[in-house]
Structure 1
Amino acid sequence: MWNTPDLILTTINRRCNTCCTTGGGGMAQIAEWFDGLSLGRKPSPGIEAVLTIVRTDAGRASFMSTQDLASRANVNVATVVRAAQFLGFSGWSALKSELRHRYLASLTAEKLLTERVVPPIGLAGSSLANDARNMARLADSISPDQLTRAAAILAAADRTIVLATGSYAAAGFQLAHVGQWMGRDIELHTSSGTALVNRLRMLSPGDCLVSCNLWRASKFVLEVVRVAAQRGIRIVAIADRQTAITDLAEESLLVPSEGVTFMPSTVAAVATVQALLAELSSSDPDRTMTALRDTEELWSELDLVDPI
């Protein structure tokens, strides 16, 4: 998580030791997911050596470089890449990102906080550096074509629900607020309840539900997404790893969410929403311009903002 290797190793060891001594439920889920990717196939001895390390020591492996993992498994770097491809990933970087987010999601906020190591540059500086890395990873994890397709789903919908909980409601609020500013019927919901049911009932096939939930998503979100998909609602998911929600989504946008303390980072999710809104604004320029002009007139009429 930080630039100093010793700090990284210390943090990994603390996290892994704690996880192994507190029941290991999260690690068992990771192992089950991992086994599901193999589909019963028999890998070569070299690939099997890599996969054994990743499966049995997921916490440490999720922070290893390609070379580190190759050395640990006593294979070459190309074998590590082939091992990731054996599981359906483009390479070790893609598998490592998925593995790390699953591992971090298995830890409680308390564990994340108590196991942190304060780096020499301090937590504030480390947080800024970490988010800069998250943005670099985002550029590798989401393609412009994905954003264009997701924006097209929003543009085609008459109504859209944005379902975002916890700190990720910030990204959801941005999507709903600016979307409404552009004349789109986009509404944010941050909890379960009758208001959400009423809104869901008003959606028609072809309308959209955007799920923006990372780290440890609220249980009700999956059920709402499942019901929406059954009713012909198009699903867009913003997530930090593959989940049952992303499996139901027509378009999944996977963003890095790793933080430096107990808080997952929201930076990549907000940046993804900004990119979606940029694409959405260009899908129907005349509609966007009309809505913006009308909003400006209402601001002036109601004397809501300072004059330019």
Structure 2
Amino acid sequence: MTEAPTLEALSQRMIAEIDALPRRLADGARYLIDHPDDVVLLSMREIATRAGIAPATLVRLARTLGFADWSELRAVYANSFRTGPARYADKAVAAVQQDKGAGLLSETFRAQEASLAFALESNALEDITAAARTLAHAERIYVAAFMSCRGPGLTFTYLCKMLRPNVEFLGSEGSSLVADLSMLTERDAVLSINFQPYAREIDMVADAVAKSGASLISLADSRATPLQPHASTCLLFSAESPSFFPSVISAVGVVEGLAAAMLTELQDTAMERIGHIEEQLYTSGSYHAHRRAR
């Protein structure tokens, strides 16, 4: 290469080209995008292990991006490296590996704590605020959350309906994803929640957002998802877990934070709606009357 790119330019290029890369190269690029400090702090072999690929794949990725070898690509990261707080997810993994005597339940709770801290560290206040503003003032909100992401998606839907009307969960019972997506307009907003491996429906959401001009908030385990090119705001959560399945605890934390930020944005309108709904819950008998505080 005649002139080394900046780290930001390199990351943006990988994000733009990631869909066209072979799957293993895309896995490597995605890891580099989301863990730039690791390129400086860890060996190529360790990075490959964490990314779930072979070390040779990182060499191929470097050459695909126009570098002579891995060390030349690594130099871009070294030049831009800034000392910062260690990744919380890495801390959790290290702690679990050192404490072999702890039970899986204890390890899981520790990883969940680290995942929540990772979400707090990774999402700037201005990004949360921007996402909340978009969602608060859209004509309609559609929540796109499939498979194991359905849990945090339903949590957000429930909370958001307490704050404002016209909130729908895409592809819910009694409807279809195709029909729901066909109703999107440029006045609407979509909150999409995803982690790898991504559900096939993510491509349908991306196409519908692109065609309709709807605003998109992407909450995912990576900044390099198929939705990223269409998103006005990208928020991160960690799905790392010592258990057999990825964790969505930090995704739940982020959506609860989004709901709190939306309350701040909507203020009196939302508070009046919450009060009305709460009154209806008591009146309908959904809450025990003796629990009511006056």
Compute the TM-score of the two structures, normalised by the length of structure 1.
Answer: 0.66
Amino acid across the alignment from 2:185: S
Q: 2:253 matched to which residue of 1?
A: 271
Deviations 1:52-92 (A, max 9, x none): 953x65343569xxxxxxxxxxxxxxx99964366x88679
| Offset from partner CA, 1:254-303 (integer Å, 9 cap, x none) | 11110112211111101100110001011121211221122123223322
Task: Determine if the alignment matches structure 1 residue 302 to structure 2 residue 291.
Answer: no
* C-alpha displacement of 1:230: 2.1
Q: Does 1:260 align with 2:249?
A: no
The equivalences for 1:1-308 within 5 A come to 27-31=24-28, 53-54=43-44, 58-60=47-49, 83-84=76-77, 119-189=100-170, 195-241=176-222, 242-307=224-289, 308=292
**Separation (CA, whole Å) in 1 of partners of 2:278 and 2:178:** 33
CA shift, 1:203, in A, is: 2.7
Give SS of 1:265's match. coil
Structure 1 position 35, deviation (Å) = 9.4
Report Cα offsets for 1:101-129 as digits up to 9, x if no partner: xxxxxxxxxxxxxxx99931011000111
Residues 85 and 142 of structure 1, relative CA distance in 2, 3 Å threshold: farther
Give the 3 Å change call, closer, same or farther, for CA 189–85 of structure 1 in structure 2: farther
CA separation of 1:300/1:197 partners in 2, compared to 1, >3 Å: closer, same or farther? Answer: same
User: Could you say what secondary structure the match of 1:158 adopts?
Assistant: coil
Structure 1 Cα separation of the partners of residues 277 and 31 of structure 2? 50
Mapped to 2, the partners of 1:293 and 1:118 lie a distance apart of 47
Pairs aligned (count): 239
CA RMSD of aligned residues (A): 3.8
How far apart, CA to CA, are the structure 2 residues paired with 1:167 and 1:82? 38
**Relative to structure 1, is the Cα distance of residues 85 and 273 closer, same or farther in structure 2, using a 3 angstrom cutoff?**
farther
Q: Structure 2 length normalisation: TM-score?
A: 0.69
What secondary structure sits across from 1:278 in the alignment?
Answer: helix
Instruction: Spell out, residue by residue over 1:117-150, the C-alpha distance to the aligned partner (whole angstroms, 9 max, x if none).
Output: 9931011000111111112222221111110000
Structure-2 change in CA distance of 1:32 and 1:129 (3 Å): closer
Amino acid at match of 1:137: F
Q: Distance in 1 between matches of 2:192 and 2:183?
A: 17
Letter in 2 for 1:270: V
Deviation, 1:253, is 0.2
Q: Is the 8 A contact 2:143 2:157 kept in 1?
A: yes
Distance 1:247 1:140, change over 3 A: same
How far apart are the structure 1 equivalents of 2:183 and 2:200? 22
Contact 2:28/2:48 (<8 A) preserved? no
- One-letter code aligned to 2:77: A
Percent identical: 22
Task: Tell me if the contact between 1:229 and 1:235 (Cα under 8 Å) persists in the aligned partners.
Answer: no
Question: Which runs of 5 or more residues in structure 1 are unaligned?
Answer: 1-24, 38-48, 64-78, 101-115
User: Which SS does the other structure have where 1:210 is aligned?
Assistant: strand
8 Å contact from structure 2 (residues 31, 51) kept in 1: no
